Amino acid sequence: MLRSFTRNYQDNSTEAGFQFTFYCDICNDGFKSSFVESETYKKGKLFRGVGRGASVVGSMIGGNLGNMAWRADRVTDILGERFEGRSPEWQKEHEMAFERAQNEARQHFHRCHGCNQYVCDSCYNEDEGLCTQCAPRQEIYVAKARAEAMKRNIDEAGQSATVWKGEIESKTTVCPVCGKPAGNGKFCNNCGASMALNTCERCGAQNAQGVKFCNNCGAPMGAAPAPQPTGICPNCGNQNEPGTKFCGECGTKL
């Protein structure tokens, strides 16, 4: 059974050879060992090559030699299947290659005596002999704490900051002439039509371009101004103060 100095590794081996990747337990960065070609696989390729060569010669000469080539090719297939099934020789090579890969990777990893994790150089605090989770580097931890405090201060200041002092008012955002977004100016960015607000003649409220009825009093846009009270009594002709509802002389409703 394979036993690694770290449990965090991946076996990338194939029939053709052996290779392993070992990972840091904190950042998961990996180190890939050198590829080692399988001697068993090389022998298998040799046998397969001999079998195919004999088959070609047999097909050219024919007769008994062709039958001999078929038998040689059949033996080659059996050997190939044996290698594909991971023969004992291949298994032994695999274990030796794994041991070699561990020795190669160990120089890039450190064992933390606090949590027993295997970590890379970047995640190891060499001054304390511990990983950076158990013993963070002081300058990095201070810089991180300062950055977090700065973010908190900015967020707190942003909650109380006044970032806009404009007035809330209606604006024409779509041009009534070309139907496209008009922008923030007084004229349409696309066709140049005026984007000024229309004033209701009846009540004086501001309305966007293209509105047919006032959004304040409901009067048709462009309607004649409402008649202003004169205070003259239609019954007796007495001049009353503007806004008076009944004539002060005869009591007629104005």
Whether the CB-CB separation of 93 and 18 falls below 8 Å is answered with yes
Q: Structural domain tally of the chain?
A: 3
What percent of the chain lies above the pLDDT cut of 70? Answer: 77
Cβ count near 224 (within 10 Å) = 9
- Model confidence at 97: pLDDT above 70: yes
Report yes or no on 148 lying in a domain.
Answer: no
More confident residue, 6 or 97: 97
- Model confidence at 132: pLDDT above 70: yes
Confidence band of 210 (pLDDT split at 50, 70, 90): confident
Mean pLDDT value of segment 25-38 = 94
Q: What is the pLDDT of residues 86-96, one digit of tens each?
A: 788 999 999 99
Decide which of 108, 130, 159 is a domain's last residue. 108
Whether the CB-CB separation of 181 and 174 falls below 8 Å is answered with yes
Least confident of 93-97, 128-132, 186-190: 186-190
Residues 6 or more apart whose Cβ sits within 8 Å of residue 22: 4, 6, 8, 9, 30, 31, 33, 101, 102, 105, 108, 109, 118
Mean pLDDT value of segment 193-217 = 81
Place of tokens 């594909």: 84
Confidence band of 65 (pLDDT split at 50, 70, 90): very low
More confident residue, 136 or 43: 136
Report yes or no on 156 lying in a domain.
Answer: no
Least confident of 43-52, 88-97, 159-168, 187-196: 43-52
* Whether residue 33 sits in one domain with residue 55: yes
Report yes or no on 149 lying in a domain.
Answer: no
Structure tokens at 113: 């005596």
* Whether residue 100 sits in one domain with residue 28: yes
Report yes or no on 157 lying in a domain.
Answer: no
For the chain, the average pLDDT equals 79
Whether the CB-CB separation of 58 and 69 falls below 8 Å is answered with yes
* Whether residue 103 sits in one domain with residue 20: yes
pLDDT at 2: 55
Domain that holds residue 250: 229-254
Confidence band of 164 (pLDDT split at 50, 70, 90): confident
* Whether residue 183 sits in one domain with residue 242: no
pLDDT at 214: 87
